[in-house]
Amino acid sequence: MLGYMIALTPALLLLGALFDGAGLARANNPIVQTIYTTDPAPLVYNNRVYVFTGHDEDGSTGFNMRDWRAYSTSDMVNWQDHGVMASLATFSWANANAWAGQVIPRNGRFYFYVPIRRTTGSMAIGVAVSDSITGPYRDALGKPLVDNNEIDPTVFIDDNGQAYLYWGNPKLSYVRLNQDMISYSGGVNRVTLTPQGFGARTSGHLLMRKVLGSTSAVRLATWFTPPTAARKTSDIQPHPRLPDPGRTVGW
């Protein structure tokens, strides 16, 4: 669920552009600078880039995430803050953990798939719907779409127009969504995570930290839960496999 934190102001924000040696305009980073935001989910719609984020409350010692926010831009430099698009109050059956969601446009409407904690204590995936891409969104079902402690939903639509909802925690699973995008047909399908398809699993999660002097040296950090000082230092090391020689890698 952890994502790179990005930030923006709570109203319409015009960021000053910076210019690099190639003359390219770049927005100030982070792009959201007044609140803590997580799990950015980008979507290009009608020639505009939208970024939907979680919001980690200031002053918390752990995750205290109670709403989701929307931002958009037409030039990647000047960003508009659309405010809160949905919150825990959107879902009467949930009470915590407004984590990584994703918006999908279909049927002339917008569907927002989110992992949230039920009042019973387990995680579940809900779906909200809106006629506007930036909300406000309302609960489409009044109950979870997928239960059983699942998180991190995303939607894939194939070339035939069939939509699938995927999620994890920790196994990769999916269901075949119906045309209404708020129900599914058949049972839950499990995807076998082979080393050939997904890479060898380690005791932690690899995060790219920085690219060293050449394109063939990448420094990675391993995240453990809970992290320890020893692991945070000893497990940061050059990785021999990524990237391929000659490939340009950067943020």
Q: How far, in Å, CA of 60 to CA of 12, rounded?
A: 26
Question: For residue 179, what pLDDT is reported?
Answer: 98
Residue 41 corresponds to which tokens in the numbers above? 């989910």
Q: How far, in Å, CA of 120 to CA of 123, rounded?
A: 9
Q: How far, in Å, CA of 209 to CA of 206, rounded?
A: 9
- The 10 Å CB-count burial string (b at 16+, else e) for 201-211 is eeeeeeeeeeb
Q: Quote the longest CA-to-CA distance of the chain.
A: 55
Q: How far, in Å, CA of 130 to CA of 108, rounded?
A: 10
For the chain, give the number of residues: 251
Q: How far, in Å, CA of 51 to CA of 65, rounded?
A: 17
Question: For residue 196, what pLDDT is reported?
Answer: 79
Q: How far, in Å, CA of 196 to CA of 218, rounded?
A: 21
Q: What secondary structure letter does DSSP report for 8?
A: B
The C-alpha angle with vertex 242 and arms to 238 and 247, in degrees rounded to 5, equals 125
Question: For residue 203, what pLDDT is reported?
Answer: 56
List, run by run, the mean pLDDT of 10-residue segments along the chain (251 residues). 35 38 62 92 97 93 93 94 98 97 98 98 98 99 96 96 94 96 97 81 54 49 46 42 41 31
Query: Could you read off the pLDDT of 177-227 as tens digits, one per residue?
Result: 999 999 999 999 999 888 877 777 665 555 544 455 544 444 444 444 444
How many Cβ atoms sit within 10 Å of the Cβ of residue 72?
Answer: 18
| Contact by Cβ (8 Å): 203, 225 | no
| Contact by Cβ (8 Å): 155, 177 | yes
